[in-house]
Structure 1
Amino acid sequence: MSNDPRHRLGRRGEQLAVEHLERRGFVVLDRNYRTRYGELDVVACDADRIVFCEVKTRRAGATSPFEGLREAQRRRLRRMALTWLNDQPGRSYSPELRFDAVGVTLDASGGLVALEHLEGAF
């Protein structure tokens, strides 16, 4: 793993997002799943759905974590989700697929300032 401060920030945000999802009753199926289109941050499920979750982490005072979720990235995330689904031949059927976004804001020492979960973000 890289020791780059941006990578550490992203890993911290993803860990907080995973803990949040687990508290809400989700089971994490995959993290940092690499495809030819990029990387899915978190794939989780509950009894009713599979959720593909994009995690955006920023330092307090920076732009909104969700600022980077533009249409081109949304299309790319859908392609990555399709790749993940195709690569899971033995997975259980889920009646719903959902794309969520979790925005994490951290202070200078890495402490949580805010965590916002947008269900069905796109």
Structure 2
Amino acid sequence: MTSPSGKKDNRKQKGAAAEELAAAALIQKGYRILDRNWRCRFGELDIVAETRETLVVIEVRSRSGTTRFGTPSESVNARKVMQVRNTAQQYVHQKRYYERTIRFDVISVILREDMTAASMEHIENAF
């Protein structure tokens, strides 16, 4: 698919690059990645990880180069929060993680043109 400017639409590539950077940062912080891009009928969870006894659901958001339209984390609206929570409920049920404490984080990534991180912010207990 091409955009009106004629450039190839590479949103999926950018999203995958941001998720890869986020996962690497989490591992470096000592998190254990349990699942990536886990899907069910309610939606998708970008990253599911654990730290100590806590199950952490991470929504990864990215923007290219500028925050002119707001930061990536500002794009997490009430509808997205509800979707992630509903999807996480299905994840917990399917994996039988009933006794686990759960936390919802957001990782916000600003990407350079070469798909490296210009900046990254990890917001714990984002919602």
Contact 2:37 2:45 in 1 (8 A): yes
Which residue number corresponds to residue 75 of structure 1? Answer: 82
| Higher gyration radius (CA) | 2
Where in structure 1 are there 5+ consecutive unaligned residues?
none
Q: Which one of 21, 25, 33 corresponds to residue 16 of structure 1?
A: 21
Taking the aligned partners of 2:36 and 2:30, their CA distance within structure 1 comes to: 17
Stretches of structure 2 lacking an aligned partner (at least 5 in a row): 1-7
> SS of the residue aligned with 1:87?
helix
How far 1:51 moved relative to its partner? 0.2
Aligned residue among 15, 30, 33 for 2:35: 30
TM norm structure 1: 0.90
Residue 48 of structure 1 deviates from its aligned partner by: 2.2
Task: Give runs of aligned pairs for residues 1-122 of structure 1, distance below 5 A.
Answer: 5-62=10-67, 63=69, 64-89=71-96, 91=97, 93-94=99-100, 96-122=101-127
| Counterparts in 2 of 1:60 and 1:24: CA distance versus 1, 3 Å | same
3-state SS of 1:73 partner: helix
Number of corresponding residues: 118
Q: Deviations over 1:10-30 (max 9, x none)?
A: 000000000111111110000
CA distance in 1, matches of 2:111, 2:74: 16
User: In 1, distance between residues paired with 2:50 and 2:94?
Assistant: 16
Once the two structures are TM-superposed, the CA of residue 67 in structure 1 deviates from its matched residue by 2.3
